[in-house]
């Protein structure tokens, strides 16, 4: 691991253990095994380190998304992918993503840090809201809106439908953060949640097949 990545890794560990406000650049440098002036050659201040941690977390997620054959950054592309997968495939994908967010050490430490520090620092509270509320709801809302437009999903209120989908998943994640032994239970609940979501919003195999038929006809 190169020095820049070591700085991020050690900083994230310290932030998650001691809190962002209680960690200084000198503390990070000491953990890395370098002097503070050497650290400044890589990052100009603690905020730059924090921003780089977010960028690294995003990079890691997109890498995982690619491995799961979704885009992760383009709602239009992902809406097309989700339009054509079965309920069983969606459940498998949901399980894999849930396990990634739960077990990826980098992501787990970052979530722990923001969960604690949101009550002490307005800037970190804003980062928490962006990372775990605003951005996911915006992205999924855009995807679901496109799927409603194409007839795969049916609802009069995309915003509420998005909340119905996302909120239970994040709640299950926070439960497992506090009580890791409940992971198996959470995965069963996640599967039941996805099946119930499909039932409520008419995302069934018939709608998928009808959509595929329309797609084939439009290309002829």
Statement to judge: residues 47 and 82 lie in one domain:
no
* C-beta atoms surrounding 193 within 10 Å: 19
Statement to judge: residues 128 and 34 lie in one domain:
no
pLDDT in tens, 116-154: 888 888 988 999 999 999 999 999 999 999 999 999 999
Distance CA 164, CA 150 (A): 20
pLDDT in tens, 175-213: 999 999 999 999 999 999 999 999 999 655 554 445 445
Which pLDDT belongs to residue 1?
Answer: 65
Nearest to 13, CA basis, from 125, 110, 144, 96: 110
Which pLDDT belongs to residue 120?
Answer: 86
Q: What is the pTM of this model?
A: 0.83
CATH number assigned to the domain comprising residue 191 = 1.10.357
pLDDT in tens, 58-112: 999 999 999 999 999 999 999 999 988 999 999 999 999 999 999 998 899 999 8
Nearest to 23, CA basis, from 38, 39, 1, 4: 39
Please give the structure tokens belonging to residue 103: 């077990």
Distance CA 90, CA 208 (A): 12
Statement to judge: residues 160 and 196 lie in one domain:
yes
Range of the domain at 79: 69-220
Quick one: the chain helix, strand, coil %, rounded to 5? Answer: 80, 0, 20
Say how many domains are in the chain: 2
Nearest to 84, CA basis, from 196, 219, 220, 207: 207
Statement to judge: residues 75 and 48 lie in one domain:
no
Decide which of 31, 48, 67 is a domain's last residue. Answer: 67
Decide which of 31, 50, 67 is a domain's last residue. Answer: 67
Statement to judge: residues 129 and 171 lie in one domain:
yes
* C-beta atoms surrounding 122 within 10 Å: 8
Decide if pLDDT at 220 tops 70: no
Statement to judge: residues 21 and 119 lie in one domain:
no
Distance CA 171, CA 1 (A): 34
Statement to judge: residues 24 and 133 lie in one domain:
no
Which pLDDT belongs to residue 204?
Answer: 53
Statement to judge: residues 127 and 170 lie in one domain:
yes
Statement to judge: residues 98 and 31 lie in one domain:
no
Statement to judge: residues 112 and 171 lie in one domain:
yes
Statement to judge: residues 154 and 62 lie in one domain:
no
Which pLDDT belongs to residue 142?
Answer: 97
The string of DSSP codes covering 54-114 is: HHHHHHHHHHHHHHTT--SS-HHHHHHHHHTS-HHHHHHHHHHHHHHHHH-HHHHHHHHHH
Q: What is the SS3 assignment for 45?
A: coil
CATH number assigned to the domain comprising residue 5 = 1.10.10.60
Decide which of 67, 95, 120 is a domain's last residue. Answer: 67
Statement to judge: residues 153 and 215 lie in one domain:
yes
* Across 13-36, average pLDDT: 92
């Amino acid at each position: 691991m190169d020095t820049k990545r070591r700085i991020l890794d050690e900083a994230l560990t310290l932030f998650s253990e001691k809190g962002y406000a209680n960690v200084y650049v000198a503390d990070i440098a000491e953990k890395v095994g370098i002097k503070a002036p050497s650290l400044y050659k890589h990052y100009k201040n603690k905020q730059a380190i924090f921003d780089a941690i977010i960028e690294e977390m995003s990079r890691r997620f997109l890498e995982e998304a690619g491995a799961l054959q979704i885009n992760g950054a383009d709602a239009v592309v992902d809406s097309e992918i989700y339009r054509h997968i079965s309920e069983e495939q969606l459940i498998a994908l949901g399980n894999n993503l849930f396990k990634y967010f739960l077990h990826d050490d980098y992501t787990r430490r970052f979530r722990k840090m923001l969960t604690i520090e949101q009550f002490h620092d307005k800037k970190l509270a804003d980062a928490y809201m962006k990372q775990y509320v605003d951005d996911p709801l915006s992205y999924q809302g855009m995807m679901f809106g496109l799927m409603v437009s194409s007839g795969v999903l049916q609802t009069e209120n995309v915003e509420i439908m998005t909340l119905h989908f996302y909120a239970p998943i994040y709640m299950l994640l926070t439960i497992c953060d506090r009580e890791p032994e409940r992971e198996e239970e959470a995965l069963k609940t996640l599967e039941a949640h996805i099946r119930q979501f499909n039932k409520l919003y008419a995302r069934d195999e018939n709608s998928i097949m009808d959509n595929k038929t329309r797609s084939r006809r439009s290309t002829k």
